Chain A
Amino acid sequence: MQKINLEGLNEEVYYHKLDNGLEVYILKKEKFNTYMAYFITKFGALIDSFVPINEKKVKKFPAGIAHFLEHKLFEQEDGVNVMERFSSYGSICNAFTNYLNTTYLVEGTNNFYENLNFLIDYVQSPYFTLENVEKEKGIIKQELLMTKDNPYKMFYIRVLSNLFVNIPYGRSVLGDNSDIDSITKEDLYLCYNTFYNPSNMCLIIISSEDENKILDSVIENQKNKKFDKINNINVKKYDEPCNVNKEYDEYYDNITKPELSYCIKLKIDYINISSRKYRLYLYILLLMNFGSISPFNLKLKEENKIDGDFDVDCSQYFNYMVLSICVSTDYPNEIIKLIDDKINNITYDKKEFELIKNSFISSVLYGFTSIDSIMNFMYNEYYSYGKITKESYSDINNLNYEEFISVIDLFNNKNKSITIMKPYENKE
């Protein structure tokens, strides 16, 4: 097993790739009663066109199929109720689907090996029938209604759809009613057999148990299971241009105050540092100029022009960085002009840089006080960068002001997208 030392955190992660391709990350957390395991497949809502296993042509599937599959894996052929079984072991199970992955998880304090094995076993035993697929459609449609009733979730999806021309971020992870209706058990099996192959999956485990014993148990579990060999899954690639899909968009929803999102799309180009560091430098720049630490934010609050602080973020989407500046305001058009002006007169200083870096380091340290947040840290690394490495933490420690200045030279707002969500009552 490879040992990944997270220096400064006093934590070690163990990594091993099984013969069948399954990747396993283990973080040993002594003195803790709680354990947690995530079983992840790289199959999320962005994937709808691919060459299914043992076939030759690209096939298109209904949107929302990854999420539908997530629901259906809880059904077992022997009639075992997955939730009841976990519950009888005293643990909690759940699952979630996002744009890139689907994750099945278990959390508990007793019967670690039984639960870990059952987690792997149930995910690796699909059982779809005409009846159980039809029955699920009602539940997923209810979930869809609940999502549609959350204006802020819908706003997030709309912002992404305005940013990306070809990558289908504008769709809900659940698909729409017509997508849900059109899903069949045959579709589900094709997707399952293609993406739930161990070579496309990963296990992240946090436990007080011995790491070697855990790995032996996973190897033993996989030993007698047969899977097709897959070298590479041929998934439709999106050729995403630098420009945004929509530069300006406003619409109405069930909210009380207008919500403004000002986003900048930057191609990750010509940089000789890790994308994690690049992201953090851009994020620091946003925090200094628009975050709660900035005089810009305070002044607008004093003038009652904004409601609460600017919420700033920098996230990586494939080979693009998206810098977002969001705020609730009754004066969205005035604020857009002020943001434009501020971007043309961006400021930074070393003292603030060091303060913000300090706060990043402390945030990770805080995270390592609970099993939930350690898992969040590890999962986010896997989600964003496809692996957990020693740089996951050392990159933060190694941020430096000189590098920051050289990187932010690339910053510009040429490709920006503005989305405004207004209350229904503002509709004329």
Chain B
Amino acid sequence: MKNITHKFENYDVHFIKTNKFKSNILSLVLITEFDKLTLTKNALLRNLITRSNKNLKSEVEVIKKEYELYNSTFKITSEILNNVMVTNFNIEFIDEKYTKSGMNNQIVNYFFDMILNPNVDNGKFESVNFKIAKDNLYSFYDRQKEDKNTYSINKAFELLDEKYLTYNVNGYKEELDKLNESNMYEYYKELFLNSSASVFAIGDFNDDDMTKKITENLDPVLKKNENPYRVNNFLTSKDVKTKIDKEENNQTKLVMLYKMIDINRRERNVILPIFNRIFGVGNNSRLFMNVREEKSLAYDIRSISYPDESIDIVLAGISKKSSDDVINSVKYELEQIQKGNITKESFNNAIMSRGCLIKRFYDSNISILYAFISSILFDSDNLVTREKELETVSIEEVVELSKKLELSIIYLLEGDKENAED
């Protein structure tokens, strides 16, 4: 595997050259600051741009084109990393040595055509596709509640102080009403003008040809912008907010949200993944072994970290009557770590498990690409450093980090079906 970077005036192009995989991925990453309305605009734009363009006027034409290109799928994903929104336009395609000569070139043309040639006339997105995209997003908002885990996590995040930017990356239904064919086209143009941009590609291709194609397409549209990314730093506070919602379910969802106070870069990147393996990630963690296996209090319990937001949460599917027991058990398990009750064995297992995960990343082109993107654009370590740093972690560091976790929010989505207690 070989990494090559080309720096241009307004953006950089990074190649990871490898013939290990049968497919290649090309990705354009735009980073911008955001507000509540921008999130909704971005969500609608993702729907619009993937649905049609100037040459492929309907979704059917787009799908047929992608079938013709051996199932190359053009996608746009977005995520929030604390104070910035990261919009990733990408396409994964089978390398032409397995399909047809010249196919790589055709696919790269299609990728840029979809991004840069939107279905716009007279400064407005075409209305039929616009309506389908909007309807689609309305319906997405209506359905959000159906995924109880994500819904509960979002609800817990909403209880945080607004200055910590705890918005939903998919935007908000009430904002969608404000969007029309014209203001969305304005947003489309702004996104390219105001973002810091980078291009990434992983696979087996001629990087000179690829670079030429990239510059031909992107030079006219991208401007130089700074990446304003920063990590969150919470102030300590002993208040714990509790909220209970009711839902016609059997099970109750519990979210315990912990702020991590004043954690440093090493803690965020190196120690936190080890702490979580001991605390609540995997079948060997304290939460799984003690709360689920030993006490039979939950079928599903785990911790999830949000390093950029300096947040760690515990998510559990429980019975309503056990909620106090589960909350107390989670607190107890964390206290044990804070007191240094970590066996050498569980620490070594956590290190080993993290090491294996990093090795597994090398077997997935998407994982390699995403790890690379976050090391170049954000504050993460690259895969080699992650492996190396693992050897330097001590139990004491894990204990120190655990002491920085402060319970801030308890959210319960209570199941109130009668047979819930059966």
Chain B 58-100 against A: per-residue CB contact (8 Å), 1 yes, 0 no? 1110011011101100000000000000000000101000110
Answer yes or no: A412 CB below 8 A from chain B CBs: no
With a cutoff of 8 Å between Cβ atoms, the chain B residues found around residue A308 in the complex are 136, 139
Q: Is A301 an interface residue (CB 8 A)?
A: yes
Other-chain residue from B139, B318, B360 in contact with A34 (beta carbon distance below 8 A): B360
Cα(A355)–Cα(B319), bound, Å? 50
CB–CB B365/A355 < 8 A: no
From B64, B284, B355, contact of A293 by CB (8 A): B64
Task: Give the chain A neighbours of B99 by CB distance below 8 A.
Answer: 362, 365
**A102-125 vs B, Cβ < 8 Å mask (1 yes, 0 no):** 000001111000000000000000
Interface residue total, chain B, C-beta cutoff 8 A: 64
B364 within 8 A of A: yes
Q: Is the CB of B70 within 8 A of A361?
A: yes
**A79-137 interface (Cβ within 8 A of B):** 81, 83-84, 87-94, 107-110, 135
* A255 (CB) vs chain B CBs: closest residue: B146
Q: Is B296 in contact with A32, judged by CB distance below 8 angstroms?
A: no
Task: Report if A302 contacts B (CB, 8 A).
Answer: yes
Chain B residues lying within 8 Å of A406, measured Cβ to Cβ, are none
Structural contact, B92 and A87, CB atoms closer than 8 A? no
Known: A302-B132, A368-B22. A92 touches B282 (CB 8 A): yes
Least CB distance from A67 to B in Å reads: 13
Q: Which B289-322 residues have a C-beta within 8 angstroms of A?
A: 289, 292-293, 296, 298-300, 317-319
Residues of A within 8 A of B364 (CB): 369-370
CB A77 to nearest CB in B, in angstroms, measures 17
Q: How large, as a class, is the contact surface on chain A?
A: 35 or more
The answer to whether residues A302 and B317 also contact, given A109-B360, A292-B63 and a CB cut-off of 8 A, is no
- The yes or no answer to A298 lying at the interface (CB within 8 A) is yes
Query: In the complex, which residues of chain B have a beta carbon less than 8 angstroms from the beta carbon of A363?
Result: 71
Query: Which of chain A's residues have a CB closer than 8 A to the CB of B67?
Result: 293, 355-356, 358-359
- Residue contact B363 to A87, C-beta cutoff 8 Å: no
Q: Which residue of B lies closest to A145 (CB)?
A: B250
Are A146 and B422 also in contact (CB < 8 A) when A295-B60, A302-B128, A369-B365 are? no
- How many A-B contacts at CB < 8 Å in the complex? 167
- Complex Cα spacing A308 to B142, Å: 13
A230 in the interface (beta carbon within 8 A):
no
Q: Complex Cα distance A304/B134, Å?
A: 11
Whether A256 lies near B146 (C-beta < 8 A) is yes
The answer to whether B23 touches A369 (Cβ under 8 A) is yes
Known contacts A34-B359, A88-B349: A362-B132 contact under CB 8 Å: no
Establish whether residues A366 and B23, one from each chain, have CB atoms under 8 Å apart when the complex forms. yes
On whether A87 and B282 interact (CB within 8 A), knowing A142-B317, A256-B145, A362-B94, the answer reads yes
Partner of A355, one of B22, B64, B135, B248: B64
Q: Are A151 and B422 in contact (CB under 8 A)?
A: no
- Pick from B142, B345, B360: contact of A33, CB below 8 A: B360
Q: Is the CB of A33 within 8 A of B22?
A: no
**Chain A residues closer than 8 Å to B362, beta-carbon distance:** 33
B20 contacts chain A at the CB level, 8 A cutoff: yes
A90 touches B355 (CB 8 A): yes
Answer whether residue B352 sits at the interface, using C-beta atoms and an 8 A cutoff: yes
* Residues of B close to A257: CB separation below 8 A: 139, 142-143
**Distance between A143 CB and nearest chain B CB, rounded to angstroms:** 4
Query: Is A186 close to B, CB under 8 A?
Result: no
- Is the pair A151, B146 in contact by a Cβ cutoff of 8 Å? yes
Question: Is B196 part of the contact surface with A, judged by Cβ < 8 Å?
Answer: no
Beyond A87-B349, A142-B298, A355-B68, 11 extra complex contacts between A and B, CB < 8 Å = A33-B359, A84-B284, A87-B353, A145-B250, A149-B148, A256-B146, A298-B60, A308-B136, A358-B67, A362-B71, A366-B23
